[in-house]
Structure 1
Amino acid sequence: MLTLFGILIIGIGIVTLLTKPIFKNHRLLGWFTQRKSLRIILLGIVLSIVTGTLFYAEPGTAYAVQYPWGGQKAVFRQGIHTKMWGRLIPIQFELPIKYVIPNTNGELGEQSEYANGDAAKYWAFSDAVKARIATSVVISINTDGEAQFLSVADRNKTEQNLIRSRIIPNIDQSIKNTCKLMDAQDYISGQASDFDRYFKDQLENGMYVLEEYTESERREIIGDSTTVRTVVNKDSKQKRFRIKRIQGEPVREQGNSLKAYGLKVVQAVVTEIDWEETFDKRLQLQKEEVAQTQLEKQQAEREFYRAQKEKARGEAEKAAERARLEKEQIQKTIAAETEAKVAEFNLVKEKKQFEVEKFKAQSKKVAADAEAYQNAKLVNAGLTPQERAEWQYKTSVGVARELKELNLPQIFIEGGGDSQKTDANLLQSLIGAELAKKMMESNSK
Structure 2
Amino acid sequence: MLTLFGILIILLGIVTLVAKPIFKQSKLLLWFTSRRSLQIIGIGILMSVVTGTFFYAEPGTAYAVQYPWGGQKAVFRQGIHTKMWGRLIPIQFELPIKYVIPSQEHGLGEQSEYANVDEAKYWAFSDAVKARIATSVVISINTVDESQFLSVADRNKTEKNLIRSRIIPNIDQSIKNTCKLMDAQDYISGQASDFDRYFKDQLENGMYVLEEYVNNEQRDIIGDSSTVRTIVNKESKQKRFRIKFKDGKPIREEGNSLGAYGLTVVQAVVTEIDWETTFDKRLQLQKEEVAQTQLEKQQAEREFYRAQKEKAKGEAEKAAERARLEKEQIQKTIAAETEAKVAEFNLVKEKKQFEVEKFKAQSKKVAADAEAYQNAKLVNAGLTPQERAEWDYKTSVGVARELKELRLPEIFIEGSESKNSDNTLLESLIGADLAKQMMKKGEK
Return the TM-score normalized by structure 1. Answer: 0.77
CA distance in 2, matches of 1:275, 1:235: 18
Aligned AA for 1:426? M
Q: State the secondary structure of the residue aligned to 1:182.
A: coil
Task: Tell me what 2:62 maps to.
Answer: 62
> In structure 1, what is the equivalent of residue 257 of structure 2?
257
1:406 matches 2:395 = yes
How many Å separate the matches in 2 of 1:311 and 1:67?
A: 92
AA aligned to 1:333 is: T
**SS of alignment partner, residue 21 of structure 2:** coil
How far the C-alpha of 1:351 sits from its partner, in A, is 6.6
Distance (Å, rounded) in 2 between the aligned partners of 1:429 and 1:65: 179
Which residue does the alignment assign to 1:214? 214
Query: How far does the alpha carbon of each residue in 1:386-432 deviate from its partner, in whole angstroms, 9 at most, with x for none?
Result: xxxxxxxxxxxxxxx9999633679xxxxxxxxxxx999824999xx
Aligned positions of 1:10-49 closer than 5 A? 10-49=10-49
Cα distance per residue 1:69-108 (max 9 Å; x no partner):
1111111111111111111111111111111000025710
| CA–CA distance in structure 2, aligned partners of residues 172 and 3 of structure 1 | 40
State how far apart, in whole Å, the 1-side matches of 2:150 and 2:75 are: 10
Query: Could you say which residue in structure 2 is the equivalent of 1:330?
Result: 330
Contact 1:135 1:269 in 2 (8 A): yes
* Structure 1 pair 230–67 and aligned structure 2 pair: CA distance change class (3 A): same
5 Å-filtered alignment, 1:21-420, equals 21-104=21-104, 107-216=107-216, 231-232=231-232, 237-347=237-347, 406-407=395-396
In 1, distance between residues paired with 2:6 and 2:218? 74
Q: Which digits, 9 at most, give the CA deviation of each residue in 1:90-131, with x for residues without a partner?
A: 111111111100002571011332111100000000000000
RMSD across aligned positions (CA): 3.5
Inter-partner Cα distance in structure 2 for 1:346 and 1:52: 139
Please say if residues 136 and 269 of structure 1, whose CA atoms lie closer than 8 Å, have aligned partners that are also in contact: yes
What is the identity, as a one-letter code, of the residue corresponding to 2:439?
L
Compared CA separation, residues 204 and 219, structure 1 to 2 (3 A) = farther
Alpha-carbon distance between aligned partners in 1 of 2:167 and 2:94, rounded to the nearest angstrom: 12
Change (3 A) 1:177 1:348: farther
Equivalences, count:
382
Q: Report the 3-state secondary structure (helix = DSSP H, G, I; strand = E; otherwise coil) of the residue aligned with 1:20.
A: helix
User: Which SS does the other structure have where 2:238 is aligned?
Assistant: strand
Mapped to 1, the partners of 2:176 and 2:37 lie a distance apart of: 64
3-state DSSP of counterpart to 1:142: coil
Contact 2:217 2:230 in 1 (8 A): no
Q: 1:236 to 1:16 in 2, by over 3 A?
A: closer
For residues 299 and 424 of structure 1, the distance between their equivalents in structure 2, rounded to whole angstroms, comes to 108
2-structure distance, mates of 1:253, 1:425: 153
> SS of 2:118's equivalent?
strand
Counterparts of 1:322 and 1:177 in 2: how far apart (Å)? 72
SS of residue matched to 1:407: helix
Distance change >3 Å, CA 339–CA 92, structure 1 → 2:
same
Structure 1: runs of 5 or more not aligned: 369-400, 411-421, 431-445
CA deviation after TM superposition for structure 1 residue 40, in Å:
0.3
Q: Residue 439 of structure 1 corresponds to which residue in structure 2? A: none
Shift in Å, 1:233? 6.1
Distance verdict in 2 for CA 1:423–1:312, change over 3 Å? closer
Inter-partner Cα distance in structure 1 for 2:57 and 2:353: 129
Contact kept? 1:56, 1:78, Cα under 8 Å: yes
Give the TM-score, by structure 2 length: 0.77
Q: Distance in 2 between matches of 1:234 and 1:302?
A: 38
C-alpha separation between the residues in 1 aligned to 2:317 and 2:354? 55
Q: Which moved more, 1:102-111 or 1:72-81?
A: 102-111
My pick for the range that moved more, 324-333 or 71-80, is 324-333
8 Å CA contact retained: 1:217, 1:238? no
Name the % identity: 82
Tell me how far apart the structure 1 counterparts of residues 80 and 228 of structure 2 sit (CA, whole Å): 76
Change (3 A) 1:261 1:424: closer
- CA apart distance, 1:340: 2.5
Q: Distance in 1 between matches of 2:222 and 2:133?
A: 33
Q: Does the C-alpha gap of structure 1 residues 309 and 269 become closer, same or farther in structure 2, counting only changes over 3 Å?
A: same
CA change 1:11–1:315 in 2 (3 A) is same
More displaced 10-residue stretch of structure 1: 328-337 or 140-149: 328-337
The residue matched to 2:253 in structure 1 has which SS?
coil
Q: What is the CA distance between 1:322 and its match in structure 2? A: 2.5
Q: How far 1:138 moved relative to its partner? A: 0.7
TM-superposed deviation, 1:257: 1.1
Q: Say if 1:236 and 1:8 are closer, same or farther in 2 by CA, change over 3 A.
A: closer
1:216–1:237: 8 Å Cα contact kept in structure 2? no
Give the secondary structure class of the aligned counterpart of 1:97. Answer: strand
* AA at the equivalent of 2:300: A
- SS of 2:143's equivalent in the other structure is coil
What residue is the counterpart of 1:414 in the other structure?
none
For residues 13 and 208 of structure 1, the distance between their equivalents in structure 2, rounded to whole angstroms, comes to: 63
Flag structure 2 segments of 5+ consecutive residues without an equivalent: 368-389, 401-434
| Separation in 1, partners of 2:234, 2:130 | 27
Aligned partners of 1:127, 1:402: CA distance in 2, in Å? Answer: 144
- Aligned partners of 1:117 and 1:423: how far apart in 2? 153
CA deviation after TM superposition for structure 1 residue 343, in Å: 3.4
In the aligned structure 2, how far is the partner of 1:208 from the partner of 1:270? 19
